Structure 1
Amino acid sequence: MNDEKLRAEALHNKVIPVHFDANFFFERAVQSLERNHYAKALKYFSKAVEYEPENPVNHCNMAGIMSEMGDYEGSNSVLVDIIKHIDPAMTECYFYMANNFANMENFEEAEKALVTYLEEDSEGQFLHEAEEMMELLMHELDRPAKLKRIKSRQGMIEHEQARALLEQGKFAQAVELLEEIVENYADFLAARNNLALAYYYVGLFGKAKETIHEVLEQDPGNLHGLCNLAIFYQHENDVSQLLPLLQLLTITVPFHQEHLFKLATTMGILGQHELAYQHFRRLLKDEELSDDPSVYHYTATAAFNCGRFIDAERYWRFASKLDPDSDVSRFYLSQLAQFREGTTEQPKINYHYHLPFEEQLKAWEHNGEGITDEVKHNPLVRSSFFWALRHGDHATKLQVIQSFAWIADEEVKRVLQAFLRDPKEDLQLKEAAVLVLEGLGIENPLMDSPEQEEIESETLVASELSNDLDQPSRTVVNKTLQMMDQSCDLDQQHDIQNLWTEFLHKSYPNTPELGHTEAWSAALEYWAIKMVGLPTTYQEVARRYGLSPSTVSRYARRMDSVCHMKDRNG
């Protein structure tokens, strides 16, 4: 008898107790959903509601499952309860109710719910779908809806323009427009969310975070705002604030494609790669996204980061087939192969569909052709540049500033001028920014800079090649100016000095030996003549300096590889 009692106690000690809470039943519900077991999923979501009755997410999930099962009346009862007793700000519930009424062919009630949604919802996340449903109801009821206003349409034209600027990577211009929209329409939350993103892309982290808090003050359940705030907390390494927010996002299962994509990328950025992987796999089941190579890349990235290397390879190969001209998938497949061979450690892969910033710079510098138009207008690439300019180390910032000379558009000018106004930035970097801006036609780039006099003094010293440069450096310019004395006016002398300074700055730390003064002077004169649009040849310049044309060509090509002179004169 004692033996039986001992065996029973031993068995009891081996049993792991199960902690029942909302999260436990939520996870079971998600697992059931993935297997299309809707009845079980509903049961588990109902239990989650019992444990957390004040959490509107669980109620909304339950309403969604009931609608999928055809219980439209039951779904609407839950949605009404959310609006009346849990979270009146969840105006999207009216849109869900309209769908349920339409499925019941109760078109009058569907119209009422839809009109309420359009008149009360400020964000407009289902605006396109609502407008399509309005057309259907107009056909069924044989009359236009009694709609007084569309709240989310206030400022919509300007907002669409701002979104287009964001998509083009013109973040500084987007900031200006979005700031104006937010000032005019204080409750336009979609515009505020995009303004926060624009701030983030140009590296204005403090303003981005402040703007997100403004969104969440008006709508505490705003998914875009919550995701962005979680990323900001991670950036600050604020674990105490991040953990509860992460727990909420972990149990959230969006039904809308845009929300699912936002949550998937957020989970990836937060290092929750397994959850990101599951969300991205759900996105790939959407017909609209099933042929999008970037989504396959995101899925592959999540798979790789959580150790699913076979799956990662498969998804990258899918992406490569869909986008054969892109180097992205090929690059990461090679990284995966090197890791498997043991030649490299497991690399850290981010969720952007472009090459890492360092790889882009290597490619452009190797090709010597500058940045292509396609890359110039890629918002992800541009955001990586702007972010690196704000948060990179000294060497990275210098590379970014020099690369901006290749992009050479209005956005670059705005960003560099803002960079000059930042009192925290290094003076040497500001000198490099001044050179780029002057090369882009900005006559007074130091206007309103807090250290204007100091930078002007430093830049003047650099441009005159005084104490900052050694004697061989000054000798090259002096030789060129001497040889061009009869044909070179003051402006051209200034341009020659700036060009030589730019070449030396950009060459650092691989500054060339300057012992062959005549060859460097000839190369400098060749490009100085080209800069003002006059014709010349290597032979003509070589004859004046007593050199061979091949020597002048070799040194001129070296300057071109650093300063991209052909692009300027092309």
Structure 2
Amino acid sequence: MKVSDHEETTKKRGTVIPFRQTGDYFFDKGIKAYRKNNMKRALFFLQKAVEMKESEPAFYCQLAAVLAELGEFERSNEQLLYVLEELDPTLAECYFFLANNYAHLGFIDKAEKMVHVYLEEQPDGDFYDDALDLLEVLEFEREESEFFTEVDKETIIINKHDKARRYMESGKFSEAIQQLEAIIAEHPNFWAAYNQLAQALFLNHEVDKAISITLEVIEKDKGNLMALCNLADFYLEIGNNEEAKKIVSALCTVKPIDLDHRFRIATVFSKAQEFKKSYDSLITLQKHHYRESIPFLKCFAVAAYHCADFNKAEAAWNRAALLGDKEAETLLIRLLEKTLEANDVYYTSFMMNI
């Protein structure tokens, strides 16, 4: 080809504009992955973002949030401390996030110190109420720390608890009961094991015993939120709506710092047909980027449907169906075919985090 021909061809094709991948580009990709609960992908993009734009505090804070979600609390704290020490010492929210990470790591003193710094720096901050709640949790953890003074003992009990949960998920309720009773024999004040035992007993058709154990927990551990939620579930299942209504009314005044606990309450609201309360709680959890598991999506869809937000109900059932839930797929089809009746839309599961 002649040079003049080549030049003419180049003119016809036009000028190639290179695509520049900036820090902002990778940050946006990371945020999208985070909202889809794809933490590993979010981590990849956010690490690229901070590499390309090292002076942006928001990038490091979001990276810290993802690391915390992945259970890498120490690495999360490294990002937060870097922001405070090198980028923006006035970003007081970092102290609150540090406190949460230290709490997860079991460093109660450090967690309390960070909470107090946050409260001093931000007396009117967005996380003020949550910070006060965290202080209460830390105080409780300090009182209960005698059961978790040694790392090996803590690891053993967590493993046993998880094993019982797996038994329940696979329908082996008798095995779960045996495992949980063994945990309680060794740790008679480990209330989470009592709560899970009550669920296993109820699912094993030992209703009276399940209710009795739950009432015992509520009496001995005043305000045990998971026990109250269990009791509400049990009463609703056996048709004792009057007693269930009393508990639901009490739960309306509770706003726990733990997002799993907030979701647990939202499921009780849905079961009690307090759909507006459930929907409002679930919307708030979405704003906190709460993980969209199948139970969450199904509860969200039910609440949205009964609040006449059919588009969001459809979207939630669709995502649950894509995750493999057949019930959600059936409800979605009926919704689209306009054959779905309100009486067919309800939430029943109470196999939640305890």
- Cα offset, 1:293, TM superposition: 4.5
Q: Alpha-carbon deviation of 1:175?
A: 0.5
Checking the alignment, whether the CA contact within 8 Å between 2:232 and 2:247 is kept in structure 1 is: yes
* 1:337 alignment partner in structure 2: 336
CA RMSD, 1 decimal: 4.1
- Return the alpha-carbon distance in structure 1 between the equivalents of residues 146 and 342 of structure 2: 41
Task: Please tell me whether the aligned partners of residues 320 and 329 of structure 2 are also in contact (alpha carbons under 8 angstroms).
Answer: no
- 1:227 Cα deviation from its structure 2 partner: 0.8
Q: CA deviation at 1:187?
A: 0.8
Residues of 2 paired with 1:266 and 1:301: CA distance? 12
Task: State the match for 1:198 in structure 2.
Answer: 200
- Counterpart Cα distance in 1 of 2:260 and 2:145: 17
Mapped to 2, the partners of 1:261 and 1:318 lie a distance apart of 18
Secondary structure of the residue aligned to 2:171 is coil
Give the match for residue 301 of structure 2: 300
Q: Please state how far the C-alpha of 1:299 moved relative to its aligned partner.
A: 0.8
For residues 246 and 237 of structure 2, what CA distance do their matches in structure 1 show? 16
The answer to whether the 8 A contact 1:234-1:242 is kept is: yes
Deviation string 1:99-149 (CA, Å, 9 cap, x unpaired) is 4046489xxxxxx9998654423799xx9xxxxxxxxxxxxxxxxxxx678
**Using the alignment, how far apart are the partners of 2:333 and 2:192 within structure 1?**
39
User: For residues 265-311 of structure 1, what are the alpha-carbon distances to aligned partners after superposition, in whole Å with 9 as ceiling and x for unaligned?
Assistant: 11111111111112222233344514x34422321111113333233
Tell me if the contact between 1:209 and 1:229 (Cα under 8 Å) persists in the aligned partners: yes
CA contact (8 A) 1:178 1:195 kept: yes
TM-score, normalised with respect to structure 1? 0.36
- State the distance in 2 between where 1:253 and 1:114 align: 13
| Cα distance per residue 1:510-559 (max 9 Å; x no partner) | xxxxxxxxxxxxxxxxxxxxxxxxxxxxxxxxxxxxxxxxxxxxxxxxxx
Which residue of 265, 276, 279 maps to 2:278? 276
Judging changes above 3 Å, is the alpha-carbon distance between structure 1 residues 122 and 269 closer, same or farther for their aligned structure 2 residues? farther
Question: Could you tell me which residue of structure 2 aligns to residue 349 of structure 1?
Answer: 345
1:120 aligns with 2:143: yes
Decide whether aligned partners of structure 1 residues 120 and 272 sit closer, same or farther in structure 2, where only a CA change above 3 A counts: same
Count of aligned positions: 237
Does the aligned pair in 1 maintain the 2:331–2:340 contact within 8 Å? no
The AA in structure 2 aligned to 1:305 is: H
Q: Verify the 8 A CA contact 2:211 2:231 in the aligned structure 1.
A: yes
Q: Deviations over 1:231-270 (max 9, x none)?
A: 2233344454333322111122222121012111111111
Contact 2:112 2:138 (C-alpha < 8 Å) held by counterparts: no
TM-score (norm 2): 0.55
| Unmatched tracts of structure 2, length 5 or more | 1-90, 97-107, 121-134
> Given residue 332 of structure 2, which amino acid in structure 1 is its aligned partner?
L
The one of the two structures with greater contact order (alpha-carbon pairs below 8 A, sep at least 6) is 2
**Does residue 207 of structure 1 match 2:189?**
no
C-alpha distance in 2, partners of 1:235/1:315? 25
1:75-105 Cα distance to aligned partner (Å, 9 max, x none): xxxxxxxxxxxxxxxxxx9997454046489
Contact 1:216/1:222 (<8 A) preserved: yes
Report the Cα distance in structure 2 between the residues aligned to 1:122 and 1:113, rounded to whole angstroms.
Answer: 14
Cα distance in 1 for residues equivalent to 2:308 and 2:137: 45
Report the CA distance shift for 1:247/1:334 in structure 2 as closer, same or farther (over 3 A): same
The SS at the match of 1:230 is helix
Q: Is the 8 A contact 1:94 1:117 kept in 2?
A: no
- Mark the CA change 1:229 to 1:326 in structure 2 (over 3 Å): closer, same or farther: closer
Asked whether the equivalents of residues 279 and 303 of structure 2 are also in contact (C-alpha less than 8 Å), the reply is: yes
Cα separation, partners in 2 of 1:122 and 1:207, compared to 1, 3 Å: farther
What are the superposed Cα offsets for residues 461-514 of structure 1, whole Å, 9 maximum, x if unpaired? xxxxxxxxxxxxxxxxxxxxxxxxxxxxxxxxxxxxxxxxxxxxxxxxxxxxxx
Contact in 2 for aligned 1:216/1:226 (Cα 8 Å): yes
Alignment CA distance shift 1:95-1:227 (3 Å): farther
Correspondence 1:310 to 2:311: yes
- Asked whether the equivalents of residues 182 and 191 of structure 1 are also in contact (C-alpha less than 8 Å), the reply is yes
* Distance in structure 1 (CA, Å) of the matches to 2:239 and 2:328: 31
Q: Is the 8 A contact 2:263 2:282 kept in 1?
A: yes
Question: Do 1:123 and 1:189's aligned partners in 2 also have CA atoms closer than 8 Å?
Answer: no
**Do the aligned partners of residues 202 and 350 (structure 1) sit closer, same or farther apart at CA in structure 2, a change above 3 Å counting?**
farther
For residues 28-177 of structure 1, the aligned pairs below 5 Å read: 97-101=112-116, 103=118, 118-121=141-144, 155-177=157-179
Amino acid at match of 1:312: A
Tell me, in whole angstroms, the C-alpha distance in 2 between the residues paired with 1:95 and 1:234.
42
| Residue pairs, 1:432-471, within 5 angstroms | none
Q: Structure 2: how far apart are the matches of 1:329 and 1:168? A: 20
Q: 2-side partners of 1:254 and 1:114: how far apart?
A: 10
SS of aligned partner of 1:289: coil
Report SS of the residue matched to 1:121. helix
CA contact (8 A) 2:294 2:325 kept: no
Q: Does the 8 Å CA contact 1:118/1:152 hold for their aligned counterparts?
A: no
Map 1:255-274; keep pairs closer than 5 Å.
Answer: 255-274=257-276
CA deviation after TM superposition for structure 1 residue 181, in Å: 1.7
Answer whether contact 2:236 2:244 (CA < 8 A) is retained.
Answer: yes
Superposed, which structure 2 residues align to 1:385-464 within 5 Å? none
Structure number, greater radius of gyration:
1
Flag structure 1 segments of 5+ consecutive residues without an equivalent: 1-67, 74-92, 106-111, 128-146, 354-378, 381-570
Q: CA deviation at 1:352?
A: 5.7
Q: Does 1:182 align with 2:187?
A: no
